[in-house]
Amino acid sequence: MCSQHENNEIIVTFSDGSREVYNTVLAAIGRTANTKNLGLETLGLTTNPKNGKIFTSYEQTKCLNVYAVGDVVEGCPELTPVAIQAGVLLSRRLFGNSLSREYIDYRNVCTTVFTPIEYGTVGFSEEDALEAFGKENIEVYHKNFLPLEWSLTESRSNNYAFTKVIVDKSDNDKVIGLHFLGPNAGEVVQGYGVALKKGITFPELQETVGIHPTNAEEVVTLKISKSSGINAKAAGC
């Protein structure tokens, strides 16, 4: 919830009741599906009343021969590459010679917010991981670091980037989530997304030799866990 503050600043009240003051707020509320005139009700199909999206299970609706793909699907990431991949895999399952049983992995889709400081993510958020696996099974490794290019400019050298890796301790420290806030986050996360999809563990991530000096290197040099309470600010090389 937003309310006006003095000097044209905006007070933002979050769901937990905490408040912060900003000079700019960007509201991204998603898309509304244009499904009203499709006659879905004649097939016994219901949609989400808030956005018109169709409920499916791996593109299959409750109607045997009706499928939905892309942004019209409830709970599906609103990304063009996701729709393309889901459509390709659905076509293989329906019409392929081998009758494939391969389904899209919606969880490990890499996404990026292309704000002036990019934010990229793949896998579980920390909150979703805690809910899905339990606090006792989750460890979070994080780091604040100063990108080399920022250190060369006085106006930027007071700011820090951030990265976080979420680990499932009950499954051999499997990495289930990765978050990166900093320069070129989209490029960084796209590479790590392959590793998460293939089931990389945190020890394997640590054993990977980084390219120095890059921002992506900060992910493979993570050591400080959130539960330790140690300052997550990175030291120099």
Could you list the active site residues? Answer: 212
φ, ψ (nearest 5 deg) of residue 85: -65, -45
Q: Are 56 and 68 in contact (CB under 8 A)?
A: yes
Which residues on neighbouring strands pair with residue 31, listed in sequence order? Answer: none
- DSSP H helical ranges for the chain: 80-95, 126-133, 148-151, 185-197, 202-207, 217-220
Nearest partner of 109 among 143, 129, 83, 140, judged by Cα:
83
What 231-235 contacts at long range (C-beta under 8 Å, 24+ apart), as own/partner pairs, is 232/142, 232/143, 232/144, 233/143, 233/144, 233/145, 233/160, 234/143, 234/144, 234/145, 234/146
